[in-house]
Structure 1
Amino acid sequence: MQQTGILVPHEPAPQTVQISDLPVKVHEIERNTGSYTSSGSGTVGFRTAKYLKEEWYQNSFARYHQAFADRDHSEHDRHVSKEIAAKTEELCRRTQQDSSRKAGERLQDIHFWKSELQREIEDLMAETDLMLAQKLRLERALDATEVPFSIARDNLQCRERRQPPDLVRDDVELELLKEAELIRNIQELLKRTIMQAVNQIKLNRDHKEICEMDYSDKVETYNIDEMCARYNNKSTNIQFHPHSTKFEDSAYTPETWAKFTHDNIYRAEREKMASVNLRLLINNILNDTAEDLRLQCDVVNLAFTRRCEEMEDTKLKLEYHLHKILKEIKDQENNISSLKQAIRDKEIPLKVAQTRLYQRAQRPSVDLCRDTAQFRLTSEVEELNTSLEVLKKKLLESEQVLRNLEDTRMTLEKDISIKANSLFIDKQKCMAHRAHYPTVIRLAGYQ
């Protein structure tokens, strides 16, 4: 093809050309020598070094081949870039999905331990409240024991005012001493149990605080991981953190992380079970002590009742005997009056008989003889004297009997008064005071 007198070669078909196959540029200056060169004065100014025509073609062909090679390399690079971009996009997507999935699994783990901690905290709070209620019961029960102890002590002091012979160490006093000793032992037991309850409450609160601190960390971590899980490629609050991939020296492993919370929950659960067992023990102690106190109270009341019945029976018998003594005293006084009257009655006949003997002793001479009348008068006087001696002796005996009866009367009256005083102390003072004995419910600490 010719165009403006210049022959332009056809463009060869595109083929893969290596850079090493391109012609090398000729950099040597062609000399204007030979049969076709001009060396006259008319060619002055045109005698510069120029490329040869073959070199021009060769240079053009080199440009074609270089453009083709660069274009082909660019196409190949674009193709590879698309594949790399697609692969990296897929890898990024899978990695991000896997990271999101791992973050979700981590959230589940945190939520599980957070829920377990929350449940344990609630259980510890409920258990601590129950233990506080048991502690309040113990304190109420301890306060309630002051009433029976003061009653027992007052009963013992009141019974010290009994008068002999009723001031005796009887069954009532023995049971009252047992009751006072039982109350003191129960008070000591309740005080020790209160201290155990206080220590257990402190342990419950300490482990609850540990779980709360762990729970607070879990909540904060859950919020952070949940926020991280919500991040996506369209989030507006994301930025570069080049050094974020560095692990902290104090970072834990998932195993130690789970073990830490597991150990906290285990220790809290152990303290909770110890608190439950202590509550059961406290409940048994309160019920047993309340029952023991009421049983001992019933024993003391029964001893009081029997003792009062004995004293009432004795008092009635003493009053019966006093009534008999009083009647006997009256009869004995009448007897003494009769004896005195009988003595007086014998004195006049004795005077008559002695007067007769005295007058007959005045008979003169032979008429002063021992006749039958004389003997009879003499025997009469002897009989009267004997009767008087017997009557006076009997009077003395009767008067002694009367004095004995009076002494017995006084003794009976005093003993009856002592029995009345003892009955007043036991029945009106002690048993009336024991009517205010606390009930089993109050002794168990419910009121």
Structure 2
Amino acid sequence: MSSELLVSRPFYDTRAVSQQELLPPRSDAELMVKDTLLPSSGLATAGYRSAKYTPYEWSAKNYATLLQAVTDRDTAERLRHESKNLHKETEAGTLRTQSEGTRHLGERLLDIHFWRSELQRHIEELTSETDLLLGQKRRLEKALEATEIPFAIATDNLTCRERRLGPDLVKDDVEEELLKEVELIRSVQALLKKTLNQTINQIRANRAAKQTLELDWSDKFQAYAMDAQCGRYNNRSVDTQHHPNSAKLQDHVTNRESWVKFTRDNLELAGREEQSSAELRQLVDRVLQDTADDLRSQCAAVDSAFARRCQEVHNAKVQLELHLAQILEQIGAQERNIVALRQALHDKEAPMRVAQSRLYERAQRPNVELCCDRPQVSLVDEVSEITGTMAALREKLAEARQSLGDLEDTRMALEKDIGCKTNSLLIDREKCMAHRTRYPTVIALSGY
């Protein structure tokens, strides 16, 4: 075996080297001790390959180890002290921050509760207002339906009065009032339809505003529940967990001013709709009341015109019947007069024959006896007188017959006119006025 010269290796504390970068700078004494450490210069014994340290190196190593232990202990104590202080400070800061966050959550809950209460109040008011407006809508529909009866009555009256006969087919006050009534009913129907459309549109607007408030209320209800749950979280809660990305603000979040403005705008919209709805309800009340009063007033005017016209026709009929009775009496008297005149003419036939026979016989007297004596003159005067009397009787008989014909014509005219008046009274009184008793009341025309 050949012998080799073994050189001792320098001493390196790998643990100290690895911790050197982590420890604070060494003091001057430590640096001086470190500089005195020299590599081993002893020679190895023949036949041994391992290197050995010198006593000085051994002492230096022990000193360095003790010094490192002292340094590590001081560092550990300092770190423990700093950690304890940091723990106290961070614990107090965390509790303070958490308390402040809890207080802010409470304030936020109060805000949400306030605006949610306002939304709830306006939702209830809108619901009540919509229900009232729906009642007005039903009244308008009933009132519009009720106007069909007056319209049918008025048109039926006009149609029936077209069946009047002869001179009674006149455009009187009744017809003018009926035409006014028909025109008024059409105007009322147009106004009611327009008001009904406005009411339907307002109901839709109320429901749209209510839906907007309900959506906002629902969002606030969920937000209140979430914030209330957040407010109930504490350090002993078992249902909390880590959410690393929760601290990042979303891009679509709003600030408090825009949040308040959004709800305030919704409430202002609801308030405007409530005001409009209340004003429309008042308008509907006035429209229904005014139209009902107008229709009933016009109905009263038509009824009054009918009453006056019926009274006029009745009076005319009474006068015609009185004159008819007198004409009939005159017809009977004239017929008796004609019979008497004819009898008088017949009675004059015998005296005429007697006088003419006497004259004829005396005209047969012979010779000188055929003289114009007093009897002859008397007979001639008698024949002349009877002839004149018969001519006068015939003239009177002709006049009597003409008068009887005129009386018959007058009787026929009176009877025809009485028939017209009777028909007019039947139409106006028995049909039209009886039909008008079905005219709706003011309550029905008002939509109740």
TM-score range for the pair, normalised by the shorter chain length: 0.7 to 0.9
* Whole-Å separation in 2 of the counterparts to 1:282 and 1:357: 109
Report the AA paired with residue 37 of structure 2. H
1:120 to 118, 122, 140: 122
* 3-state SS in 2 of match to 1:51: helix
Greater CA drift, 222-231 or 279-288: 279-288
**Could you tell me how far 1:195 is from its partner in structure 2?**
2.0
* Whole-Å separation in 1 of the counterparts to 2:446 and 2:204: 24
1:27 match: 37
* Whole-Å separation in 1 of the counterparts to 2:28 and 2:74: 15
1:433 match: 435
* Whole-Å separation in 2 of the counterparts to 1:201 and 1:323: 71
What TM-score, normalized to structure 2?
Answer: 0.85
Report the AA paired with residue 357 of structure 2. T
1:404 match: 406
1:312 to 304, 311, 314: 314
* Whole-Å separation in 2 of the counterparts to 1:90 and 1:443: 78
Report the AA paired with residue 170 of structure 2. V
**Could you tell me how far 1:272 is from its partner in structure 2?**
2.3
Report the AA paired with residue 440 of structure 2. P
- Listed as ranges, the matches of 1:53-68 within 5 Å are 59=63, 63=66, 67=70
**Could you tell me how far 1:434 is from its partner in structure 2?**
0.8
2:142 match: 140
1:348 match: 350
Counterparts in 2 of 1:217 and 1:52: CA distance versus 1, 3 Å: closer
What value does the CA root-mean-square deviation take over the aligned residues?
A: 2.6
Greater CA drift, 160-169 or 374-383: 374-383
1:264 match: 266
2:167 to 161, 165, 168: 165
Report the AA paired with residue 118 of structure 1. Q
Counterparts in 2 of 1:84 and 1:321: CA distance versus 1, 3 Å: same
* 3-state SS in 1 of match to 2:165: coil
* 3-state SS in 2 of match to 1:252: coil
Gaps of 5+ in 2: 1-24, 43-51
1:283 match: 285
CA contact (8 A) 2:40 2:53 kept: no
Deviations 1:218-271 (A, max 9, x none): 111111111001111111111122211110001111111111111122122212
* 3-state SS in 2 of match to 1:223: helix
* Whole-Å separation in 2 of the counterparts to 1:112 and 1:265: 13
Is 1:297 aligned with 2:299? yes
1:209 to 208, 211, 227: 211
1:190 match: 192
Is 1:51 aligned with 2:53? no
* 3-state SS in 1 of match to 2:27: helix
1:366 match: 368
CA contact (8 A) 2:342 2:397 kept: yes
Counterparts in 2 of 1:216 and 1:65: CA distance versus 1, 3 Å: closer
* 3-state SS in 2 of match to 1:234: coil
**Could you tell me how far 1:443 is from its partner in structure 2?**
1.3
2:3 match: none
* Whole-Å separation in 2 of the counterparts to 1:342 and 1:304: 55
* Whole-Å separation in 1 of the counterparts to 2:29 and 2:128: 91
Report the AA paired with residue 153 of structure 1. T
CA contact (8 A) 1:332 1:398 kept: yes
In the comparison of the two structures, how many residue pairs are matched?
Answer: 412
Deviations 1:55-112 (A, max 9, x none): 78x949x958973x76666555544444333332222222111111110111111111
Is 1:236 aligned with 2:243? no
Deviations 1:187-215 (A, max 9, x none): 22222222222222222222222221111
Counterparts in 2 of 1:48 and 1:194: CA distance versus 1, 3 Å: closer
Gaps of 5+ in 1: 1-17, 33-46
Report the AA paired with residue 27 of structure 2. S
Deviations 1:294-337 (A, max 9, x none): 11111111111111000010001100111111111111112222
What TM-score, normalized to structure 1?
Answer: 0.86
CA contact (8 A) 2:352 2:386 kept: yes
Is 1:225 aligned with 2:224? no
CA contact (8 A) 2:334 2:400 kept: yes
* Whole-Å separation in 1 of the counterparts to 2:268 and 2:84: 56
2:7 match: none
* Whole-Å separation in 2 of the counterparts to 1:30 and 1:214: 87
CA contact (8 A) 1:145 1:187 kept: yes
The ranges of structure 1 where at least 4 consecutive aligned residues each deviate by more than 4 angstroms after the TM superposition are 29-32, 62-66, 69-80
* Whole-Å separation in 1 of the counterparts to 2:384 and 2:121: 123
2:18 match: none
**Could you tell me how far 1:31 is from its partner in structure 2?**
9.4
* Whole-Å separation in 1 of the counterparts to 2:343 and 2:353: 16
* Whole-Å separation in 1 of the counterparts to 2:108 and 2:102: 10
CA contact (8 A) 2:348 2:390 kept: yes
Report the AA paired with residue 27 of structure 1. L
* 3-state SS in 2 of match to 1:165: helix
Report the AA paired with residue 313 of structure 1. N
CA contact (8 A) 1:113 1:261 kept: yes
1:199 to 198, 201, 222: 201
CA contact (8 A) 2:38 2:57 kept: no
* Whole-Å separation in 1 of the counterparts to 2:335 and 2:381: 32
**Could you tell me how far 1:375 is from its partner in structure 2?**
1.5
1:14 match: none
2:11 match: none
CA contact (8 A) 1:29 1:51 kept: no
